[in-house]
Amino acid sequence: MELAGVLREAMSVGASDVHLKPRQHPVLRVRGQLVKLENWPLLDARELDQVAGTMMTPPQRQRFDRDGGVDVQYTVAGIGRFRVSIFRARASIGIALRVVPYEPPTFEELHLPPIVAKLAMEPRGLILVTGPAGSGKTTTLAAMINHMNKNRIDHIVTIEDPIEYLFDDGGCIITQREVGLDAPGFGEALRICLRQDPNVVMVGEMRDLETMRTVLTLAETGHLVLSTLHTITAPETVNRIISEFPPEHERQVRQQFAGVLRGVISQRLMERADEPGLIPAVEVLIGTLTAQRCIEDPMRTGQLDQVIAEGRDTYGMQTFNQSVIEWYQKGMVSYEEARRNATSQTDFEVEVERLALAADVATRKPIPTSEGAFRR
């Protein structure tokens, strides 16, 4: 199999992902849709095994043999950079490649709300970027690091598995460490992080209780910490972190988490209607005093949705429904796509109808009455 040729074709059509599976044609994900490359021959299991072997270092091969899967960084000169997931499935090897651009993105290119840039300038605390796999969490983190590098003078330490975006030092010194190559795990890398004199720490993913506990402690000690979780909404993120700790520690964790939280950015990608491509629906929770009290009090945690909705004008918060309605009103996503990505489809329908009626009333011309007055 000529992997370089498949990847070259993927890049030429703007694919975000490449899937390689035995006895199947290569498959690309283009603008969110899977496309089978039937002009390429069916993939052979032995060839995939050989290709996977060329992508892994000896330590990565050991992890793969032990765990049945490993993530690696892979670069093909003249074509591009990729994050690669190599895994076993039904005793064969499968490979999924995610395209990683050479240049870190900007907030404008990603269509992220302005509040994200403000969060990136926080001096300390915890910022979480959440969403399902493939929702652009890593890309959003890269945009935040890129913004810091241009607007701050700090030492940024990233702990990733694997390293995806590469950063050159700008205003900041950026130290990038890869799990499996530079440290055995996230926990071990975090434990020695304080000795590196960081101002900002970016943890690729909070995968276990130990990492969560260390991240909260780092945020308490005056550092700005950024990380990700595979949660769908901002309130769900709060509940997920609290539930990871033993019940007898719940009160302490609620107080600790509420004290350090600066923001939760939850996102999901939507297909654009105005041009080819994807655009993010983004929910943002800011760690205001009201939000902190809702996190501390289990009886009030369910009010976080309302806190987000009401905090739009004052704090820059927004719900998924508010986000998708904005993109729909601008003509950038279709009604069905916006409705599908709303947290509450019923609330979305009611709000769109209300906005349409309000717009109709606002544009209707006054009609003169017999008395010479005007009515609408």
pLDDT tens-digit map of 3-60: 999 999 999 999 999 999 999 999 999 988 899 999 999 999 999 999 999 999 998 9
Q: CATH 3.30.450.90 spans which residues of the chain?
A: 3-100
Q: CATH 3.40.50.300 spans which residues of the chain?
A: 107-354
Give the CATH architecture of domain 107-354: 3-Layer(aba) Sandwich (3.40)
What's the pLDDT score for residue 374? 46
Strand partners, 94: 87
Give the model confidence (pLDDT) of 297-337 as tens digits. 999 999 999 999 999 999 999 999 999 999 999 999 999 99
d(CA 67, CA 90): 14
Closest CA to 228 of 122, 126, 83, 119: 126
d(CA 160, CA 72): 11
Tell which phi-psi region holds residue 356, choosing left (phi > 0), alpha (psi between -120 and 50) or beta: alpha
Selected from 3.10.20.30, 1.10.260.40, 3.30.450.90, 3.40.309.10, the CATH number assigned to the domain covering 3-100 reads 3.30.450.90
d(CA 351, CA 72): 45
pLDDT at 371 over 70: no
Give the model confidence (pLDDT) of 269-297 as tens digits. 999 999 888 999 999 999 999 999 999 99
pLDDT at 110 over 50: yes
Give the model confidence (pLDDT) of 234-270 as tens digits. 999 999 999 999 999 999 999 999 999 999 999 999 9
DSSP string, 218-257: HHHTT-EEEEEE--SSHHHHHHHHHHHS-GGGHHHHHHHH
